[in-house]
Structure 1
């Protein structure tokens, strides 16, 4: 039996950040992280776009708004302090018509309330900061939006752990055993408090502890295509999003090395690690997720039917590319290259209302804390979010 003060499930950006924060506060605590893969961040964290969001998409009373602004500042400072790759190129949000102009002002209003540095600029000002960006009348400029290399950040945090933090790889949580023990594929681990940062499986683990019983995760696949011209854009270029759903729409991103990619999709898939073809196929997940997605489709909850049709069409390359054509003045289709590493967004669904959870969701019971919904901008928010979780854990212990 392994004995530890804190057991963290999942060496994601969230799990690593929480371990780091708790160690800073209480260096005497024994902290054990278990990760089912052979390295940290093999799923959502390591497949993340790397964008450090500024924090203007989120309603002012949300946890996302609370943590993103500070998280951006903290993670930017961390990268600069440790000489990690960061491209501080900034971002523009552009409009395509009169209706989008309302969205521009709505985003600026949210940004002001959240304390985000933003400017509304006209077409001439936009052309000065990014000659190829295209908008209708007005756009938003967000200088604080940047991009990092997610795997580099994850590995730097993980390799920087000091005494009393143990990272166990290829160690998969199997089940809860009693009040203070967990069984893995290799060990029984006795803990004082458990923190569930299991991402795609956070809901399943939470259910074993009696929390989040009315939640389930619905996976959405994100695909990106590389654009083979690093001078194509100077800023990240995003459309005005539909603020009623959690997806930001197809956009152009400057990667940390200056290369450009377009995406992502938000294609509903049928098992949790459904990255490519039949890889990682899980029959039980397939039938469970199919049942919920069929129900969402029939009810058309949060316009799921329309979303599903629109997203499935993005499997067709020309249609996918067309979705971003209005963001720029000049686009050469033959410069689009290969699809890049796909990711899965673990989006929480409330089975009572059949609506997606728009905000972070955290629940606790006597000996455990469960991060049930940690979708974008969780990577950006991780250092700030980890303080919030550490506060909760301190009170529970």
Structure 2
């Protein structure tokens, strides 16, 4: 049996739900259906992250990340306030612990100012006054960085979408899609759906879904497992801000940071090690299909060569809790080995091009009737609402052009 809808959205993470709400707001009369293969929303990346509302400090000026993150931080806070969701604008300190890092920190501060992000320089004495348990030579202070619960936020979006007449179908996986002159035809595990327009927000499976719709994504998702620890035996005032190291520009990830959680307590993490399954949240999770896809992709091996030093360092920290702790001790010697307790890991869907380059910015693949959200790493949760506006704008432009 073939069903019909005006707009079909595939993926029930925060980007998919935000897109559903945005399209519904723009056209309340449109029939909008959202499909999610899991039994609830935000099961994967949207529900496995640090919960940080990023301000946009790190991203290249003019990039989509920089623009969407800056706007998204404000939109996220406004949504939380409107719907009585918990959030806290704690502020973030990016701490330099060596002279080399001080130089990098100043360059990072300049980038933040180019992005229109409020940023303040903090000297060693000021850092000690702000955070007595943190060691460093200097820091950058981002007062607009905060925390929330993105899984809960996504669930509220789903409830709103349903209350306004939207349709959400859980437990239904998309198998393929075909674009005709007058419609999109999408085959799922439960039948066929015809839609005027389709948006896919498939996260860890974005490249596979793009190929299943007959297009070339231009990248392969390589899953990286981010391991966190919950901190035990710590006072409530261990830190009052989010604490981040100064990122190494030669490495693709931000490093292990100390985060206060919206529900209380603290975590440190994540590192970044290859996951043996795209949804491999446990160390023992393994998929032969996923590993064949990774190891059989020349871009993976080129990426590994280009980031060999970082790969060895991340693997060492994963295998040795003491090595992990050493990273934390660079800025917080107060934490001991016995304080590190297990905490759920996350998996990052890292898009890697055929030449081994890590695709850093958001990436979209579009045809006349279909728009795929390709690469959407952090800060995608913070940026979800501006991403949704971008998607809606692109669909509208494509429809006018047609």
Whether TM-score is above 0.5 comes out as yes
Aligned pairs (5 A) from 1:208-227: 208-227=212-231
1:11-56 CA-to-partner distances (Å, cap 9, x unmatched) read: 0100000111111111111111100000001000011211000101
- 1:282 maps to which residue? 287
The answer for unaligned runs of 5 or more in structure 2 is none
1:133-158 CA-to-partner distances (Å, cap 9, x unmatched) read: 2212x210111110101221111111
SS at structure 1 position matched to 2:382: helix
1:62-105 CA-to-partner distances (Å, cap 9, x unmatched) read: 10001101100010111122211112211100011111111111
Which residue, out of 317, 330, 334, partners 1:314?
317
Matched, 1:132 2:136: no
Aligned pairs (5 A) from 1:139-154: 139-154=139-154
8 A contact 1:51–1:148 mirrored in 2: yes
> 2 CA distance for matches of 1:142 and 1:385?
23
Which residue, out of 355, 358, 364, partners 1:356?
358
Matched, 1:200 2:201: no
Instruction: Give the drift of 1:173.
Output: 0.4
Give TM-score, length-normalised by structure 1. Answer: 0.94
- 1:346 maps to which residue? 349
Matched, 1:259 2:268: no
Aligned pairs (5 A) from 1:88-103: 88-103=89-104
Number of corresponding residues: 391
- 2:10 maps to which residue? 9
Stretch moving more, 57-66 or 306-315: 306-315
- 1:325 maps to which residue? 329
Stretch moving more, 367-376 or 83-92: 83-92
Give TM-score, length-normalised by structure 2. Answer: 0.93
> 1 CA distance for matches of 2:301 and 2:356?
11
8 A contact 2:17–2:158 mirrored in 1: yes
> 1 CA distance for matches of 2:251 and 2:3?
43
Instruction: Give the drift of 1:214.
Output: 2.5
8 A contact 2:112–2:119 mirrored in 1: yes
Instruction: Give the drift of 1:308.
Output: 2.0
The answer for unaligned runs of 5 or more in structure 1 is none
8 A contact 1:200–1:217 mirrored in 2: yes
- Aligned-pair RMSD on alpha carbons? 1.6
Q: Name the CA shift for 1:211/1:245 in 2 (closer, same or farther; >3 Å).
A: farther
> 2 CA distance for matches of 1:319 and 1:65?
32
- 2:380 maps to which residue? 378
